Copies of this chain bind each other. A is one copy, B any other.
Amino acid sequence: MEAEHHHQTSNAGGIIGGLYVKVMTDDQMELLRQQISVYATICQQLVEMHKAVTIQQDLAGLRLGNLYCDPLMACSGHKITARQRWTPTPLQLQVLERIFDEGNGTPSKQKIKDITIELGQHGQISETNVYNWFQNRRARSKRKQLTPALNVVEPEVETEVEVESPKEKKTRAEGFQVQPYEKSSPHRIKDMYIQSPDIEPLTGNIPIMMLK
């Protein structure tokens, strides 16, 4: 940062103790140390986030944070508005997706039971939930598959529904959006939750001191 004295000395190297070595001024060394420190800190925080996301998340109960929130209400002796609909925790979802991918495409009765028990470790869940999940997953997966052909504007298709008012006005660009439902393999994607508020200032502009 400072010590702008006059150490434009020998940044090259020299023989000390009979060995050729690079030398650094204290400033450089300090800068380096700081640099590493910064990275270490950032990495630690990010890793923290990652862990929090990957591992926990369910201890906080179902992730219905917005309605069934505060346990406070529960303490008031009032009836806790139970959740209406099950929602898999990120962790559960991860497991489910994995199982789904594994190809054991046929979730047998027993299989369902096992999965349910396993997922029960990460949050409230029932066999029905699991069953439905697979049911839906399969169905939707299939449908998306059948949506490869996207209209490419066929001029000859002129049905009578061409009712258009002259006052028609093309407000905005109605034509750019990624349409295709599912990429070939969405399994490459993982989902995680970040709850650490400390990473906010992360901008990607981590200054790095080039060594040499």
Contact = CB atoms under 8 A, between A and B. Distances in A.
A50 B202 contact: yes
Interface in A60-97: 60-67, 69-70, 72-73, 76, 78-79, 81, 83-91, 93-95, 97
- Give chain A's interface secondary structure class: loop
Contacts of A193: 62, 189-191
Interface residues of A, number: 129
Contact of A62 (B35, B120, B191): B191
A150 to B, nearest CB: 6
A18 to B, nearest CB: 7
A32 to B, nearest CB: 7
A147 interface: yes
A138 interface: no
A175 B127 CA distance: 15
